[in-house]
Amino acid sequence: MPELPEVETTRRGIAPFLEGQRVSRVIVRERRLRWPIPEDLDVRLSGQRILVVERRAKYLLLGAEAGTLISHLGMSGSLRLVEAGLAAAKHEHVDIELESGLALRYTDPRRFGAMLWSSDPLNHELLRNLGPEPLTELFDGERLFQLSRGRSMAVKPFIMDNAVVVGVGNIYASEALFAAGVDPRREAGSISRARYLALATEIKRILAQAIECGGTTLRDFVGGDGKPGYFQQELFVYGRGGEFCKQCGSTLREIRLGQRASVYCPRCQR
């Protein structure tokens, strides 16, 4: 599933080509996504100028003059720029054609993504209860420490909770916990303030680094320019169960936490 760095990479890739452009028409070939694409999306968006392309958590917000298109890439979706009128292949469900001659094309083999319309996106039911963005001053180790008090759940699903902080998915939670030397199985409430301060610092560093690398290519993720991300080359633990630890040489262990695979080093993380 595309995580925050992949979505931010997509936003950065498409924004310069969308902002200030007017939509000429919207072609919907398949409406059956996670939630049905609104029947009147073409009517609402055609003729509108796209003012801004923003991101909230893993949602992309295309702000137009009369409302906002909320898009989620689901488990296998991508948005990329193509020439308007380019023949569509299988799974290429939506084209947002621009007067510039380009089109924003949405591809989603599993159809688990979303394209919804809202006049008040930040108060939409999908967004209004989200926690702070991890790369802002609203998120820090003190927040993690305070919210974790009395919590018996493991620390990894705790930092992946979107009410605590958005966008820390499985890949980057695994990597941040390794970098901070924290065992993902530890009870969230048992971790000290000092260790949460270190963990928050690593979350910020790793997410920022992943964005600069264009995200992580797992299966079929590509950015808005159709190019893959390269952060996968920087992974220390995610997807490396049974391999050696790059830091100490121990064998990495793979377990299940919150129905997710989790890899950690029994020597480096405690």
Active-site hit among 2, 5, 134, 157: 2
- Is residue 267 flagged as an active site residue? no
Residue-level pLDDT at 217: 42
128 annotated as ligand-binding: no
Based on DSSP, count helices (H) and strands (E) in the chain, helices before strands.
Answer: 6, 10
Provide the CA 125 distance to its chain's centre, in angstroms: 18
Respond yes or no: is residue 142 known to be catalytic.
no
Looking at residue 214, its pLDDT comes to 76
- Cα gap 196→194, rounded to integer Å: 5
- Catalytic one among 3, 6, 8, 175? 3
Give dist(CA 229, CA 55) in Å, integer. Answer: 18
Rounded-to-integer distance, Cα 44 and Cα 23, Å? 10
pLDDT tens profile 84-126: 999 999 999 999 999 999 999 999 999 999 999 999 999 999 9
Q: Is 30 helix (H, G, I), strand (E, B) or coil?
A: coil
Closest CA to 237 of 162, 184, 168, 158: 184
Domains of the chain, each with CATH number or no CATH: 4-123 (3.20.190.10), 141-264 (1.10.8.50)
In angstroms, rounded to a whole number, what is the distance separating the alpha carbons of residues 104 and 120?
Answer: 23
Is 91 annotated among the ligand-binding residues?
yes
pLDDT of 147-201, one tens digit each?
999 999 999 999 999 999 999 999 999 999 999 999 999 999 999 999 999 999 9
- Active-site residue identified among 55, 56, 58, 80: 58
Q: Looking at the whole model, is its pTM more than 0.75?
A: yes
Say which of 204, 253, 260, 267 is annotated catalytic: 260
Known catalytic residue at 22: no
Q: Is there a catalytic annotation at residue 3?
A: yes
CA gyration radius for the chain? Answer: 20
The pLDDT score that the predictor gives to residue 229 is 44
Q: Is the pLDDT of residue 205 over 70?
A: yes
Grade residue 224 by pLDDT with cuts at 50, 70 and 90.
very low
> Is 34 marked within a binding site?
no
- Report the percent of the chain where pLDDT is more than 70: 93
Sign for the CA dihedral angle at 104, 110, 114, 115 comes to: positive
Query: Are 155 and 182 contacting, i.e. CB atoms less than 8 angstroms apart?
Result: yes
